Copies of this chain bind each other. A is one copy, B any other.
Amino acid sequence: MTKGKRNAEATQAAILVAAQNAFTEHGFDGVGVREIAAAANVNVALVNRYFGSKQGLFNEAIARAISAQNLLSANRLEFCKQLAAQLVASGTAADPTFDPARAMIRSAGNLQAEEVMRSALEDHFVSPLADWLEGDDASVRSALILTLVAGVAVLRDVLRLPSLRMEDGELEKRLETLFASLVDPAGGLGDVGKSDVA
């Protein structure tokens, strides 16, 4: 099957991988199809042949990424720990890797890309997570968990904000705590009798 030459499957895969890496680093508008094709050692025209358009390629890239991860298997405490750990660990790879979060943030300027990302995140992240949370305002709490993930992706992985790139230990602990307060249906909400900040 994999002959190395004249193999459509391998070519499509190569294009997809190159596109994912490129989108991660430069976003949808920041990279051209010629660059992607060159990185995949493939002719430009093949991008349009196999994926219809640059937009189609982006859609496919996002779709593959979203449907490939599942964090909901662990118990509630483990979920918080794993999510926090994964967040502070991301962006540490030396060689360019596909990071869906970064790719999405960097493509947030494109209107069509926004649409793809909205439905992908709502259907494959917020909604399942809300079901799993199983409490009051599960929808809002789920969305707020994604909010933290997105915020970290923006400031730490994309903008590389100095304050978020050191003291990883403290950061991870704080994130874990925040997640925990959102996983718990009560979650520090309730009456303001105690815990007063003034």
- CB within 8 Å of B: which residues of A? 26-30, 75-77, 80, 105-111, 114, 117-118, 121-122, 126-127, 130, 137, 139-144, 146-152, 154-155, 158-164, 167, 170-171, 173-175, 177-178, 180-184, 187-189, 194-198
Contacts and interface: CB of A to CB of B under 8 A. Distances in A.
B30 A109 contact: yes
Given A117-B159, A143-B171, A183-B197, 17 more contacts: A27-B110, A109-B109, A137-B174, A140-B163, A140-B167, A140-B170, A141-B174, A143-B164, A144-B171, A146-B161, A147-B155, A150-B151, A150-B154, A154-B154, A180-B197, A181-B181, A181-B188
Given A117-B159, A148-B147, A76 B198 contact: yes
A173 B189 contact: yes
Nearest to A149: B151
A80 to B, nearest CB: 7
Number of copies of chain A assembled together? 2
A76 B197 CA distance: 7
Contacts of A171: 140, 143-144
Nearest to A163: B143
Contact of A75 (B141, B151, B198): B198
B29 A170 contact: no
Contacts of A105: 105, 108, 154
A77 B197 CA distance: 6
B189 A159 contact: no
Nearest to A138: B163
Given A109-B108, A148-B147, A114 B164 contact: no
